[in-house]
Every structure is written in structure tokens, then in C-alpha cells.
Amino acid sequence: MLFVKYPEKGNVKTRLAKDIGQDFALRLYKIFVLDILEELSCCAYNLIIYYYPLKDNNSIKKWLGDKYFYVPQNGETLGERMKNAFESVFSEGFSRVIIIGSDILRRPGAKPA
């Protein structure tokens, strides 16, 4: 599962935007998400993109394309939305699940900071 926020100026990478500006933070966030999707494209995983906020999924599809399965995040807090996503995919019969956040990725071979 990949958790993403719909990329809107002022709503992504807000702490970083204080130092680099909202426009650059927005561009950086979009690059992070596309980089993660590129990294995952080589693997035969069932990828579900959980998006927030609850915009219609046509906005998400327009941004990321039609080849993914999209589900709105459900819950008030991030923790609740993650819990609900886990419960949903386990109820669909998956036995192992990984959540990846949209702004965290360590390239293979990269050393931890």
C-alpha cells in the first residue's frame, strides 16, 4: 500500500516548505511519489494507492495514471487511516502487507542517514 496526499500547494511537505517555499516543496513531493512508483514498478506486487484527502479518484488518476488501484484513506488521524487500510486489505485475503509513505524512500544500496 502506498499512502499519498493529493499534491496541493500548502498541503504537502509543510515543514520543509517553511525553508524552501511552497512551490518547491510541492514539486519535490510530486517527485518523491513518482520516484517511489518507479522503484516499485520493477516488482510484481499488488500495489494499492491510498489517497488523502477524499477528493474524487479522477484527480489522483489524472496525476498518477490509470494503471493503479486507488482507495481513499478512511479515518480522522493518520494512525486510524493506516489501521483501516490494513484491516481492509487483510479482509480481502492478503496475508502480508507493507505500507509505504509517499515521502520516504531509501534507494537500494543507499546508506542510512
Would you state the pLDDT for residue 69?
A: 92
What is the predicted pLDDT for the residue at 48? 94
- Which amino acid, 4? V
CB atoms within 10 A of CB 58: 9
Report pLDDT for 58.
Answer: 85
Q: Where are the domains of the chain?
A: 2-101
Q: Which of 28, 32, 72 is nearest to 49 (CA)?
A: 72
pTM: 0.83
In this prediction, residue 6 carries a pLDDT of 92
Which ranges of 21-104 would DSSP assign to H, the alpha helix? 22-40, 57-64, 78-91
Residue 113: its pLDDT value, please? Answer: 44
Q: What is the mean pLDDT of each run of 10 residues along the chain (113 residues)?
A: 93 91 94 91 88 83 92 94 95 92 60 47
Architecture of domain 2-101: Alpha-Beta Complex (3.90)
